[in-house]
Structure 1
Amino acid sequence: MNEIAENKQKLQAQTPGAYRAQSGEYVFNFSKVNQILGGPDYSPVYGGCVEGDRMIVALMTAPAGKQSEPHSHPNEQWIYVLEGVMEILVEGERHTAHPGELIYIPANTIHCGCTPTEKDAKFFTVKDASHSLHGIKVQK
């Protein structure tokens, strides 16, 4: 691969639809970047996503009463709850997180979540860029 092709590849997001930070960009408005699904084939969460060289960040909404299907991803994930209540199942253990609480999902760990109330949950999530924002649905 030549240098021009390598540079172009570096500037494209690995998560389909996510925004890839470009050289010289330092401030982003989540409401103005592409709104994508957090896990198109396993999760109803949606929001803005920005990727850099080593980090992926997203501001997501988890719709009230909706649930994701079990999935994992090769990259670790942090989820900071901003609004609402999130219930998660990590390796078969149920946890509830409220605004101001932080959830940690280790790499390659099967998990799923839901918003058990009538109010949407909003959360900020961070993953390392060793893999995309999207995970891998557990096959039944």
Structure 2
Amino acid sequence: MESKIGKLIKALRTGRKKTLKQISEKTELSISFLSQVERGKSSITLESLKKISEALEVSPSYFFSENSVHVKSNVRRGSLGQAKKNDLSFVFEDLSGNLANPSIEPILVTLQPHEDKGVPFAHKGQEFIYVLEGVLTLLLGHEEHELHPGDSIHMESSTPHNWLNRTGKPVRFLCVNAFDKE
């Protein structure tokens, strides 16, 4: 999975005629780290993937899409539990259905037990989170929130934030990102 993501990052970066240095400057990730990710030699966190996605002006779901066919609408039935397992510390299931130029991005995220990596980050737009199971710890600015099943939050994504799982059980939540169309 990481090799596939790395290849997609490189293809998108080179297709847009961007250098590793340019992406490094936008993401504050080192050139050597970005190179290792592109070659499948280093694992990537969701935080880093979001930074790279923003620098390349795509949704993070771009890297998880099964195909690049864009449709006008999509109905998904019985998708719960069908996310693909990977070697990453999270499972990320794109629920958007490959709509062309989406203004929102619904994803189903599963954080593995004790997933407590990364630092808060910010990006454009707004974010809505609804916890399905487990206890999600949300760092939002200088605040920390524990969200339980049925809890939700709607926030400006420009406020530094991060998701953590400090428990011994997986956490599943729906995250909907709304993008600013500039």
TM-score range, shorter chain: 0.5 to 0.7
1:57: how far off?
A: 0.7
Q: Per the alignment, do residues 85 and 32 of structure 1 end up closer, same or farther by CA in structure 2, a change over 3 Å counting?
A: closer
What's 2:169 paired with?
119
On the 8 A contact 1:17/1:34 being kept in 2, the answer is: no
Q: Which runs of 4+ in 1 moved over 4 A?
A: 30-37
On the 8 A contact 1:30/1:48 being kept in 2, the answer is: no
Q: Pick from 122, 126, 137: which aligns with 1:72?
A: 122
Q: Flag the structure with higher strand content.
A: 1
Q: Distance in 1 between matches of 2:152 and 2:112?
A: 19
What's 2:112 paired with?
63
Return the structure number with greater relative CO, CA threshold 8 A, min gap 6. Answer: 1
Q: Distance in 1 between matches of 2:123 and 2:110?
A: 19
RMSD after superposition: 3.0
Q: Distance in 1 between matches of 2:141 and 2:72?
A: 41
Q: Distance in 1 between matches of 2:123 and 2:116?
A: 17
Q: Per the alignment, do residues 62 and 110 of structure 1 end up closer, same or farther by CA in structure 2, a change over 3 Å counting?
A: same
1:121: how far off?
A: 0.2
Identity of aligned residues (%): 22
Deviates more, 1:20-29 or 1:68-77: 20-29
Q: Pick from 136, 141, 147: which aligns with 1:91?
A: 141
Q: Flag the structure with higher helix content.
A: 2
1:130: how far off?
A: 3.6
Q: Per the alignment, do residues 56 and 99 of structure 1 end up closer, same or farther by CA in structure 2, a change over 3 Å counting?
A: same
Residue identity matched to 1:14: V
Q: Distance in 2 between matches of 1:121 and 1:130?
A: 28
Structure 2: runs of 5 or more not aligned: 1-56
Q: Distance in 1 between matches of 2:71 and 2:131?
A: 30
Q: Per the alignment, do residues 21 and 36 of structure 1 end up closer, same or farther by CA in structure 2, a change over 3 Å counting?
A: farther
On the 8 A contact 1:64/1:121 being kept in 2, the answer is: yes
Q: Distance in 1 between matches of 2:103 and 2:159?
A: 20
Give runs of aligned pairs for residues 1-140 of structure 1, distance below 5 A. 14-15=58-59, 16-19=62-65, 22-23=70-71, 25-28=73-76, 29=79, 44-49=89-94, 50=96, 51-52=98-99, 53-69=102-118, 70-130=120-180
